[in-house]
Amino acid sequence: MAKSLITGGAGFIGSHLVDLLLEKGDEVVIIDNLSTGNKVNLNPQSKFYEMDIQDPDLEKVFKKEKPDFVFHLAAQIDVRKSVENPIEDAKINLLGSVNVIENAVKYNTQKFIFASTGGAIYGESEVLPTPENYYEKPLSPYGVHKLAVEKSLFFYNKTQDLDYTVLRMSNVYGPRQNSSGEAGVLAIFIKKLIQQEQPIINGDGGQTRDYVFVKDVARAFISAKNKTESDKFNISTGVEISVNDIFDKVVSSLGINTPKVYQDARKGEQKRSCLNSDKAIAELKWSPEYDIDRGIEETVEWFRKNQS
């Protein structure tokens, strides 16, 4: 039986991955400081350590558990917060990540799988959908630090023989997503509309994103686990959808009639983002199973049951 360690395993994406790994027969260890994760998301079949990835005691967990696979998802996830406080973002997303990598190397982890970002690394791309070989030009400390971790993994691969896979995800949505400020627009819209509050659209709503369902993302991590050569992959649908269209789909799914209300656009917000996942389809043998309508239906159903 393989042992997998997941940082951020009480979080939105991490908890879905934990469930799937357990379903596949792995022994699962979770490290999460619960800053954005939630104990409610913890699978009782897993082993949980409440700990920050920056903690020097992280080594004690690795020494005791000696995981075969490390899935590194713990992060500061708010792009705006990274702009406001780049030093804090660097401490968590760069130095914290290096702490995890160092321990993975020291305790002979077979494979390191890193949750990176697509849109924040490519910036305002002139090629859409954007492939992995497109020039990286992050416009936020969040994107800069995620890219720095990718480059660090390349270094550890060449110097310490660490096998790794990087997943550059587009906009992930689905059940368990945090609907507070750092969350995706879909979760915010659904939560507010269920509570009969008025969601606000930044700018004209014409900005586009590539939305990929969380269960598809969890499957991508499983596919990455079995990839033998170190590389990076976009995990996405390759479909651009505007914020206006997302709003309309959520309203339709809820069976209500709510008007759109707009406010000034946020400075520095990307206008368009869409990733090409052909490489993942070809090499990871992965492809998304959920289209946006099916994904929204399942997400709305979850929020209805868990709106408290």
Q: What angle do CA 225, 229, 231 make, to 5 degrees?
A: 85
Cβ atoms of 70 and 21 within 8 Å: the answer is no
**Burial of 62 from C-beta contacts in 10 A (0-12 / 13-18 / 19+):** buried
Which tokens belong to 13? 């994406």
What is the Cα–Cα distance from 253 to 153, expressed in whole angstroms?
Answer: 42
Which stretch of DSSP H or E encloses residue 213? strand 211-213
**Amino acid identity for residue 71 in this structure:** F
Using 50 as the pLDDT threshold, list the residues of the chain that sit under it: none
% pLDDT > 70, the chain: 99
- Tell me phi and psi for residue 167, to 5 degrees: -110, 115
What is the Cα–Cα distance from 20 to 221, expressed in whole angstroms?
Answer: 10
pLDDT score, position 228? 86
pLDDT tens digits along 249-268: 999 999 999 999 999 988 77
% pLDDT > 90, the chain: 92
pLDDT score, position 254? 97
Active-site annotation, residues:
142
DSSP state of 136: P
Beta strands in 231-303 (DSSP E): 231-235, 241-242, 262-263
Nearest alpha-carbon partner for 73 in 22, 35, 122, 46 = 35
What is the Cα–Cα distance from 120 to 116, expressed in whole angstroms?
Answer: 9
pLDDT score, position 196? 95
DSSP state of 240: -
List of domains in the chain: 3-172+213-239+277-284 (3.40.50.720), 173-208+240-273+290-305 (3.90.25.10)
